[in-house]
Amino acid sequence: MINFASDNVTGASPEVLQAVIDANSAPPRMPYGNDASTGDVEARLSEVFETEVKAFLVATGTAANVLALGSLAPPWGAIYCHEHAHIQTSECGAPEFFTGGAKLVPLSGADSKLTPDGLHAAIDRSGSVHHVEPAVLSLTQATEGGTVYSPQEVRALAEVASEAGLKVHMDGARFANAVAALGCSPAELTWKAGVDVLSFGGTKNGCLGAEAIVFFRPELAANAARQRKRGGHLLSKMRLLTAQFEGYLAEGAWLRRAAHANAMAQRLAAGLKEVDRVDLLFPVESNLLFPRFPKGVAQRLNEAGFLFYPENLDGASRLVTAWSTTEEEVDRFIAAVKAMTENS
């Protein structure tokens, strides 16, 4: 069985698992992050982002997103996002819950990407008490369609947001894949381009379950510690969560693993492009692909042990490569597609 259903079907990468094992064998440590290592991770993230950040670790990507949004949007706020955004489609209303009822405003845009013009047109400037108050722009990087925003594109969106008084949140569940794809620095893609808060994903790219909420403007984090606790997201054995991020960041593992996943996606895309009657819904820029197969083929591939979500978006299937995907897996999949489409 070869599993392209998601990058969270994998386990933890060796370096992350080893860091947890090492931390676990250390003597007792004070709980809830009152240990030296947890402070160290914040310092380490400040190095990675070339600026002093406030960082809060949690175990799930939804928690990271919604605690970030809860720090930015009041209950009577509007959060502008793409209609494909994970926070809009796949978090069961968690953003509404953690903001106390803010309203998500889904916008369309090609390739799962927001446009400055689309955002500008959508922002309510009436100031009316009958309308929710424009509060946040949330963009996903890499996007749910597997595309990426360039630093210039992020900046252009952030400028529209900033002019209207919005804060800017980046859902970076696959931030590593975006950085690896673009070859820019983490700083260029975030605070230098106008991002206020980043959900920095670890889970999909090698952690057991670890995400960092990274605040580039410390004043926005004033209530984040209490909001995390109140959300039930402050782990008592925090140092085991911390250890994951230590292992993830050490020696550039996070970027190396993401680059591999991206490369496997490119290999997959290259193979699929050679197949007649298969096309790709979006440009392949990170580790997600949305191929459209001839009728019946997706189902037969599933039945043959190639796992992925068929009919995921506009008639296209979704395939995801991961840090653990091998060239052999990719090649076997391509071969299967070729065989099936020739016979379909």
Site for a second copy in 216-275 (CB under 8 A): 223, 225-237, 240-241
Q: State the Cα–Cα distance between residues 115 and 157, nearest whole angstrom.
A: 7
Q: Which is nearer to a second copy, 99 or 147 (CB)?
A: 99
Q: Considering only residues 282-341, where is the footprint of a second copy by CB under 8 A? A: 307, 322, 324
Q: Is 102 near a second copy (CB under 8 A)?
A: yes
Tell me the window of 42-50, 58-66, 112-120, 288-296 that interacts with a second copy (CB under 8 A).
Answer: 58-66
**Minimum distance of a second copy from residue 80's CB (angstroms):** 14
Residue 121's Cβ-count burial label (10 Å; 0-12, 13-18, 19+) is exposed
**Residue of the chain from 41, 66, 154, 178 that contacts a second copy (CB under 8 A):** 66
Q: Is 68 near a second copy (CB under 8 A)?
A: no
Tell me the window of 68-76, 176-184, 267-275, 277-285 that interacts with a second copy (CB under 8 A).
Answer: 68-76
Q: Which is nearer to a second copy, 182 or 265 (CB)?
A: 265
**Residue of the chain from 59, 68, 195, 258 that contacts a second copy (CB under 8 A):** 59
Helix (H) or strand (E) holding 276: none
With CB under 8 A, what is the number of residues at the site for a second copy?
A: 76
**Minimum distance of a second copy from residue 289's CB (angstroms):** 17
Nearest to 306 by CA among 337, 278, 283, 279: 337
Q: State the Cα–Cα distance between residues 69 and 262, nearest whole angstrom.
A: 28
Please, which residues have CB within 8 angstroms of residue 30's CB and are 6 or more apart in sequence?
none
Mapping DSSP to helix (H, G, I), strand (E, B) and coil, where does residue 176 land? helix
How many CA atoms does the CB half-sphere of 156 hold within 13 Å? 13
**Minimum distance of a second copy from residue 243's CB (angstroms):** 10
Q: Is 121 near a second copy (CB under 8 A)?
A: no
Binding mask 123-162 for a second copy (x = CB under 8 A): ------xxxxx-----------------------------
Q: State the Cα–Cα distance between residues 153 and 11, nearest whole angstrom.
A: 33
Mapping DSSP to helix (H, G, I), strand (E, B) and coil, where does residue 158 land? helix
**Residue of the chain from 27, 303, 328, 343 that contacts a second copy (CB under 8 A):** 27
Tell me the window of 143-151, 179-187, 204-212, 331-339 that interacts with a second copy (CB under 8 A).
Answer: 204-212
Q: State the Cα–Cα distance between residues 302 and 97, nearest whole angstrom.
A: 36
Q: State the Cα–Cα distance between residues 207 and 259, nearest whole angstrom.
A: 16
**Residue of the chain from 38, 53, 54, 61 that contacts a second copy (CB under 8 A):** 61
**Which neighbouring-strand residues pair with 211?**
58, 201
**Minimum distance of a second copy from residue 339's CB (angstroms):** 23
Residue 55 contacts residue 221 (beta carbons within 8 Å): no
Copy the structure tokens of residue 274. 């050679």
